[in-house]
Structure 1
Amino acid sequence: MEDIETHAEGMLTLPSSVIAIGAFDGVHQGHQAVIREAVKRAKILGVPSLIYTFDPPPRFYFQGVRILTTVEEKLVLLDKLGVNHVVIARFDEFYTMRPPIDFIEDLKKFSPVEIIVGSDFRFGGNREGDIQLLEQYFQVRVNQPVCCSKGKVISSTRIRKLISTGNIQESLSLLGR
């Protein structure tokens, strides 16, 4: 496996790519499905895979929730999943006020053949950007939520709740490690 290349926002341009976008806090089984899809599609299309993520995760910035994986841990997990590039955008007050079109312009620098997001994906100031707006500019694949064996959606919020109630075993099974 080739080592993953990490880039600060604005420091990378690519002639083509498949991008997965998300906070990916925890890199849980649902995140892994999105990331694996991006890596698989990139290989099929013969282009690099790119993960566009945020530090800190938006929910931490807005709600102060527990961070499940540090940036370093996230990079190790993304590397194991075979990702070629990771762009880490600094999520701060400036970032939260950006219009959705600024985010779209940033994505154009990677010449995406496809972009893969979760079904609840939003972007830009006040979360004004949505999948429909993204589809006006790019080919978008939407991954549906992944459920556990009990039929419940796997999410970082659910994992945080399990950890806070001491249910470590179940949280680890949802994380997939």
Structure 2
Amino acid sequence: MKAHVYTSVEMPCSIIAIGAFDGVHKGHQEVIKQAVQRSKKRKVPSVVYTFDPPPLVFFQGARMLTSIEEKLEKIEKLGVDHVVVARFDHLFAKRNAYRFIDTLRKLNPAEIIVGEDFRFGKDRLGDIALLEKYFRIQVTMPVCCSNGNPISSTRIRQLISEGETTLSNAFLG
């Protein structure tokens, strides 16, 4: 896997999975696995586009579930060809949704895979409907635990704060 950390990259074609992927939990893994599968089928590189720190950590000071090094290790194990890590700072947070779309265009995505709650751009004004105006989008439905609740980074943070390490580790996969 080639990591493009805090640098831009251009590609002739790709399949992209986009997300904060903090923890690279089972739900995140499903989004990334779909990108890898689709990229192999189309014979183009798979790309994970992610952020450091995750936006929730940046804006709300949430507990970070994995360091960037751990995140990259977990992503690599999923068979990804490239990972682009954008530095999420005050400057990045001010970018509007259309500027993010311009960034994605440089990767020439044949398809983009995201979770159903994906938002982007300043004030989270960009959404899946906007992305669909520019790219072919595949939305991955949430991965749920045995009781039917979606696995999420927020839920994992809550479990960790409650001392439920066995369950949180199970969700992290």
TM-score scaled by length of structure 1: 0.96
Residue type of the alignment partner of 1:47: V
1:92 to 78, 89, 92: 89
1:74 to 62, 71, 75: 71
TM-score scaled by length of structure 2: 0.98
For residues 54-106 of structure 1, the C-alpha deviation after alignment (integer angstroms, 9 at most, x for no partner) is: 00000000110110000100111111000000000010111111111100000
Q: 1:164 maps to which residue?
A: 161
Distance 1:15 1:62 in 2: 34
Provide the aligned C-alpha RMSD in A.
Answer: 0.8
Residue type of the alignment partner of 2:21: F
Shift of 1:8: 3.2
Greater than 6 Å deviation, 4+ residue runs: none
Shift of 1:10: 4.7
Distance 1:9 1:100 in 2: 19
Distance 1:15 1:9 in 2: 20
For residues 152-172 of structure 1, the C-alpha deviation after alignment (integer angstroms, 9 at most, x for no partner) is: 100000000000000000001
Shift of 1:9: 4.6
Task: Number of aligned residue pairs: give it.
Answer: 173
Identity %: 57
Distance 1:37 1:11 in 2: 23
Indicate the SS of the match to 1:87. strand
Q: 1:103 maps to which residue?
A: 100
Q: Contact between 1:121 and 1:130, CA under 8 Å: does it hold in 2?
A: yes
Aligned ranges for residues 9-158 of structure 1 at < 5 Å? 9-158=6-155
Q: Which runs of 5+ in 2 are unaligned?
A: none
Distance 2:172 2:147 in 1: 15
